[in-house]
Structure 1
Amino acid sequence: MKTYLLDLVFRINFINIIFYYFFRIMNYKHRNESEKRKSYSIFNFNKLIEDIPFYPDEYLIDNNLYGIGYSLKRYMELETPLDAYIEHGLFFGSLVKKNSIENHSKRIITLSNIRNKHIRRVAPNIDVITLGPYIHYADELIDNLTFINLKNEFGKILLVFPSHSTKDIKAQYAGNKFINEIEKISESFDSVFICLYYLDARNVELVNSYKEKGFYIVTAGHYYDKYFLSRLKSLILLSDYTMSNKVGTHVGYCVLLNRPHYIFDQPTNYEKIGINADKEIDQRNNNDKTTSKLEQSEVVHAFSQFSDDITSTQKDIVDKYWGMNSIKNKEELLGIIKNL
């Protein structure tokens, strides 16, 4: 029933707007929660990961996630909701989520030309807008003085992105092996920051496994925090090198911001913990799974060796999947959005 109702919200503009205003009225007292958290220390992860009641700024539900819609509109100095569905991260393979094409806008904002082609094969009548890595459009969250003080205090920083869970599935990997690799890589660094997704940062055992090694826990915040993308941008810029144990949107973001990245590729198992777990895990058909595996393998191969510099091959890969050459300036972006 819940899935059916959400499908109606996506498809019918009138119902979507009612849904939008209902939550704005119901959660009005929480409208400034993101602003409150804007001033929190990057190390105050326990406060940053607390739930935020849903107070939408965008009509389309997914456009309120990770501060992407907010960052794009702030970049354009636009106040009205976007009439286009935003794919909220990098999707590998030919999977195109149902709610991204079966909503009232009939327009999709995505990263790259290869993603554009996948979407058009499934939905040839959808308008697809490629903008490149969304993090380009986000403001930095840490001011210059704080940034300088943090660099003086923590020196050369290795920023690590572990595989992350979702509401319905819990990511599981060989933590000891990953920690051993982090320790090996971090020998030439002064500090290690572990950037945990907000759901994983609630896992006390996981948090302690990193803290026991002297690593610092940080997070980009709750996914309803409109400064999520800005906080992530500041964390990446604060670092000198980045690594992860699985390919994800963060890889291209790091390269765009001129931070080398290393993938210590590990098998990740997903434990079903929510009612939509089966749907999330099995959302790809065989073709989707094949194309996803091929594309992810290409990225993993390009980043599988620790390197002090970003290679030309890595830049080409990031352009292919994250669309670095699709970045728009303010005037170009405004022209596209206003002509939708």
Structure 2
Amino acid sequence: MYDDPLSQKKFGLSSILREKYSIPKWLPINAEIQHGWYPSNTFFQNPKISKNKRQLVWSDRMMNACRKSGIKHYYCIGSPFVHYRQKYNIEKKNDAKGTVVFPQHSSEGWNVEVDWIEFITKLKKLEEEFQPITICLYHLDYINVDVRSQFANHFKVVTAGNIYSADFVKNFYRILSSHKYATSNTISTFSFYSTEMGVPFFLTAQEFSYTHKFDSTKIGTGYKEWKASADSEFSNAHKIFPDYPIKNISPAQIEYVDRELGIRSESSRHILWLVLFFSGLKVLIKLSLKELITYFKK
């Protein structure tokens, strides 16, 4: 029984794509999938990324990044989360209230370093319209008692769950749709998902940095560096999302978010289905032949 690799399971993306393009579970998806907003315009210049590997990206900007980096095969799929939300008609609930907060998170290799006490103080000072506050933690931070306890002493704390679970997207939208507003100390994928669904997003500024979990000699890139990076989209995003509470979404934000999520840039579904089906079939045949050879060598 074929099982998608973890890189494709991230945030349940492979499950969404299989549903969207009618790809059977037994057929490999022979491509790398953009798993979130990539602010870097030189992302695909990383030497670890194969120029021959098929890339499924979200937007015209990312297709241009592929083109400039020498990627040979790339297609625009738009944001899979948007497809999921629209397919299941998920909207902000009529009784939505308060603000959901998505703090900048750690990752498998890096711990995020933030003055959480100062951040919590800023959240508490938000006017009554934006209360109550709900903290939505990335799963790695949620299971880290040291991080979760700092928030749990002041607010309700939730998580969308394991990032490799197919239920992640459902959990995420269940949390987001229950709130009138959204905020964070950074601009990230959730900023766009919130705006696209009609939940106004704003910044609650609080700088952060990163420390490596296993190698203290490695230095992570912090908030200032992200914002100032010449190859980053962060500076443009900061012109769109204000560092103060907002109650409505502007036309400029809608236009920008639509562009970054690739809502009107999607490649032909019929062509992409053919590409994914036959390229996946090619991989499946190779895997089957390898298993047969291994079997007869026993």
Pick the TM interval, shorter chain.
0.7 to 0.9
| Cα deviation, residue 70, structure 1 | 0.8
Equivalent residue, structure 1, for 2:70: 123
SS of equivalent to 2:125:
helix
Partner of 1:101: 50
Give the equivalent residue in structure 2 for 1:43: none
Q: CA 1:114/1:131 → structure 2, altered by over 3 Å: closer, same or farther?
A: same
Structure 2 residue 239 is matched with structure 1 residue 301:
yes
The equivalent of 1:217 in structure 2 is 157
1:119-167 CA deviation, whole Å, 9 max, x = no partner?
1111242x22122222112369x999xx97xx86xx5131110000011
Structure in which a larger fraction of residues adopt helix: 1
1:339 counterpart = 2:275: yes
Match of 1:270 in 2: 210
Per the normalisation by structure 1, the TM-score is 0.69
Does the Cα contact within 8 Å between 1:172 and 1:271 map onto a contact in 2? Answer: yes
Question: What CA distance in whole angstroms lies between the structure 2 residues aligned with 1:276 and 1:224?
Answer: 27
Q: Could you tell me which amino acid in structure 2 is paired with residue 119 of structure 1?
A: C
Q: Which one of 56, 80, 89 corresponds to residue 36 of structure 2?
A: 89
> Does the 8 Å contact 1:133/1:252 carry over to 2?
no
Q: Secondary structure at the match of 1:251?
A: helix
Equivalent position amino acid for 1:223 in 2:
I
TM-score, length of structure 2 as denominator length: 0.78
Which of 93, 98, 105 is 1:157 aligned to? 98
1:5 aligns with none
Q: Distance in 2 between matches of 1:318 and 1:253?
A: 8
CA distance, structure 1, for counterparts of residue 266 and residue 179 of structure 2: 23
* Equivalent residue number for residue 180 of structure 1: 121
Residue 27 (structure 1) aligns with: none
- Paired residues of 1:158 and 1:186 also in contact (CA < 8 A): no
The yes-or-no answer on 1:77 pairing with 2:26 is no
Gaps of 5+ in 1: 1-20, 25-56
Against the structure 1 CA distance between its residues 164 and 108, is the aligned structure 2 distance closer, same or farther, given a 3 Å change threshold?
A: same
TM-superposed CA distance for 1:289, in Å, is 4.1
Distance 1:136 1:280, change over 3 A: same
Secondary structure, counterpart of 2:99 in structure 1 = strand
Structure 2 gap ranges (5+)? 277-298
> What's the CA shift string for 1:242-271, capped at 9, x where partnerless?
001011111111111111101123221101
Which residues in structure 2 correspond to 1:189-338 (within 5 Å)? 189-213=130-154, 215-274=155-214, 278=218, 289-292=229-232, 295-304=233-242, 305-326=244-265, 332-338=268-274
Q: CA deviation at 1:74?
A: 1.8
In structure 1, what is the Cα distance between the partners aligned to 2:164 and 2:6?
11
Q: CA RMSD in A?
A: 3.2
The 8 Å contact of residues 97 and 132 in structure 2, kept in 1 or not, is answered as: yes
SS of alignment partner, residue 199 of structure 1: helix
Q: Distance in 2 between matches of 1:310 and 1:99?
A: 38
Distance 1:205 1:181, change over 3 A: same
Q: For the Cα contact (< 8 Å) 1:164–1:200, is it kept in 2?
A: yes
- CA distance 1:63–1:291, shift in 2 (3 Å): same
Between the aligned partners of 1:102 and 1:136, the Cα distance in structure 2 is 28
Between the two proteins, the alignment pairs up a number of residues equal to: 266
One-letter amino acid matched to 2:133 = V
Conserved? CA contact 2:51–2:70, under 8 Å: no
Which string of whole-angstrom CA distances, capped at 9 and with x for unpartnered residues, describes residues 148-188 of structure 1? 7xx86xx5131110000011110111212211221222521
Determine if contact 1:133/1:327 at 8 Å carries over to the other structure: no
User: Is residue 138–residue 159 contact of structure 2 (8 Å, CA) maintained in 1?
Assistant: yes
CA distance in 2, matches of 1:98, 1:301: 31
- Conservation of the 8 A alpha-carbon contact between 1:242 and 1:260: yes
Which aligned runs of 4 or more in structure 1 are off by greater than 4 angstroms?
97-100, 279-282
- Which residue does 2:291 correspond to in 1? none
Give the SS at the match of 1:217. Answer: strand
- 1:296-337 CA-partner distances (Å, limit 9, x unpaired): 022123112322111111122213322232357xxx435422
